[in-house]
Amino acid sequence: MPNRLLRTIAATVLSAALVLSPLTPAQAAPARIKDIVDVEGVRENQLVGYGLVVGLNGTGDSLNNSPFTKQSLQSMLERLGVNTQGENVRTANVAAVMVTANLRPFATQGSRMDVSVAALGDADSLQGGTLLVTPLLGADGEVYAIAQGAVTINGFSAEGEAASIVSGVPTTGRISSGALIEREIDFHLGSQHSLRLALRNPDLTTARRIALAINDFIGAPTAVPEDPATVRLTLPRNFNGNIVDLLTDIELLIVQTDQVAKIVIDENSGIIVMGKDVRVSSVAVAQSNLTVTIAENPEIVQPNPLSLGVTAEEPNTTLNVNQSDTALQVVNESVTLQQLVDGLNALGISPRDLIAILQAIKATGALQAEIEVL
């Protein structure tokens, strides 16, 4: 008798769990702190420069259409002791380019980094070219690196008398380890006593969970959430190490991330992406499709025999209008994202029509989510 009673209770509890499980929100995605935050001061810096690529096999800029290339070429030759003032310079083996790079954090003087090269004029291809010495400037106007080297491109172009083919983008390229760092960013992370952790996806709940995870691990009130995007981290007085040691200890902590309910729509491509927390109240949806077909079938009219008429073409247009209406369909209140998607797919509509329907449901207040249109 006791065993039968225990089995009955266990079956009742299991049934209740199965019934209530769809109502329970899905668990948040766990992630390491190092994967969801950026550390204050640990960042890249964009560099840009203007230079010349030489050695092109007739695919460079036409100097008549690109006067800046001609001026740059003459200035470079003058610095090398070649006087070209008043001369008519004609060459198709030079191209003016913009050189860009990202200076990684804590990069030391004398180390190297990759650079990207893009044509500025009307050059057809940078294949086989070599970038001459190009200073790379930061936003403050200072030179942080010098770039030079052979340009590698991913595309190609070929042309004949009656046809041509272009694959990829032959006017952009890359130089692996093509820049030498000349100036360092003056930032000493190890000497900091307090810094901020910036959330890549700002959220109040996630910020608080990060602070709680750090404080539980350290055993002291080290982290304080300041806003949805910032957690203030302070070095404890009795901590055996500097701020780098503290970051090393906490960056592998696992935190359950959270996010707002959002629907992202790209109207150009018809792509719709929904978050797991999107909910919709019960609504009724009807859709109408209007199709207009226009066909042109011109008729040739011949003149009568022995007449002075000429053969003529008379227009003949066929116009059809087809309108298909769907009955009013009910989308029940959804508990999970899968049920919401199944309910919308049951209407048998295209993604572009679904975009309009979602926006209309949002306008009625029945969609508990934010819609972002790209």
Instruction: Tell me the two tokens of residue 176.
Output: 């692996």
Residue with tokens 């679904």: 354
The pLDDT assigned to 14 comes to 34
The pLDDT assigned to 264 comes to 86
Closest by CA to 202, choosing from 234, 224, 233, 226, is 226
The pLDDT assigned to 52 comes to 95
The pLDDT assigned to 225 comes to 94
Q: How far is CA 228 from CA 139, 205, 259, in A?
A: 29, 8, 11
pLDDT along the chain (374 residues), means of 10: 40 34 49 92 93 92 85 87 77 92 93 95 91 95 95 75 72 94 89 91 92 92 93 89 90 89 80 78 64 63 73 70 56 60 68 77 79 82
The pLDDT assigned to 1 comes to 43
Question: From CA 334, how far away is CA 357, in angstroms rounded?
Answer: 16
